[in-house]
Amino acid sequence: MKKYWAEFLGTYILVFVGAGAIIINSVTEGTVSHLGVGLSFGLVVMAMIYAIGDISGAHINPAVTIAFWVAKRFPSNQLLQYMSFQILGAILASATLYFMFPNAVTMGETLPLKDNWIQSFFLELILTFILMFVILNVSTGAKEKGITAALAIGGVVAFEATFAGPICGASMNPARSIGPAIFSFDLTHLWLYIVAPILGAILAVFSCRFIQEAKSCCDNC
């Protein structure tokens, strides 16, 4: 159970800090800044890899867990538990933020710019592809841990959130989008932020095999 609670807590902290940075930036009229928001996401991911990487692998993202499962690095009998605890952590974090900032105009939800869902779909797919490709090459088994993994993965999250955030929100993580969507009372485009990251992460597994030895990307696949 410890690894499930680690995923719960890790995802809670990710959403609380990341979505919280967006909310506080809005409430304070830009004090955090867009760059600050991107760095908040990247740094909190880095911190969680250091904190819980040895316990659960610090997936804190259902798309990552699914991709590790597709790569046969992760057991089927833990798949639903991991994703459930990740999503519950994200929902509780968003509930906490809603309680603290009930009048905020945003809950850190991810939405396509000008409702251009096609553009955002492909952006989310490619962003998650890049993220997962890096994860596969710096992780050990199904665990993201150590200095190399923390710096590489946190860095990818930071630069992707910084350059793509204004267009699609740069979620790359279904749980990160589900929590804020519930408390912003806007589920219109939520499907996009569930489907695109999962597809992107799965594509990364198969693409990794083309440029690496198969065993470097997945086990017996």
Which of 13-22, 49-58, 155-164, 212-221 is predicted least confidently? 212-221
The predicted pLDDT at position 166 comes to 95
Q: Give the total number of structural domains in the chain.
A: 1
| Token couple for 168 | 């699609």
> Residue 93 belongs to what domain range?
2-217
Assess contact for 217 and 201: CB atoms under 8 A. no
HSE-CB of 97 using CA atoms within 13 angstroms: 32
Supply the pTM of this predicted model: 0.94
Q: What is the DSSP letter of 171?
A: -
What pLDDT shows up at residue 220? 58
Helix axes 62-70, 79-100, angle to 10 degrees: 170
Q: Residue 50's domain is classified under what CATH number?
A: 1.20.1080.10
- Of 66-75, 126-135, 211-220, the one with minimum mean pLDDT is 211-220
The two structure tokens encoding residue 201? 């992460």
Per-residue pLDDT tens for 23-72? Answer: 999 999 999 999 999 999 999 999 999 999 999 999 999 999 999 999 99
pLDDT at 219: 62
CB 71 within 8 Å of CB 218: yes
What is the rounded distance in angstroms from the CA atom of residue 79 to the CA atom of residue 57?
13
In the chain, % of residues over pLDDT 90: 86
Q: Token pair for residue 211?
A: 């440029």
What pLDDT does 111 receive? 96
Q: Which two tokens stand for residue 7?
A: 């995923």
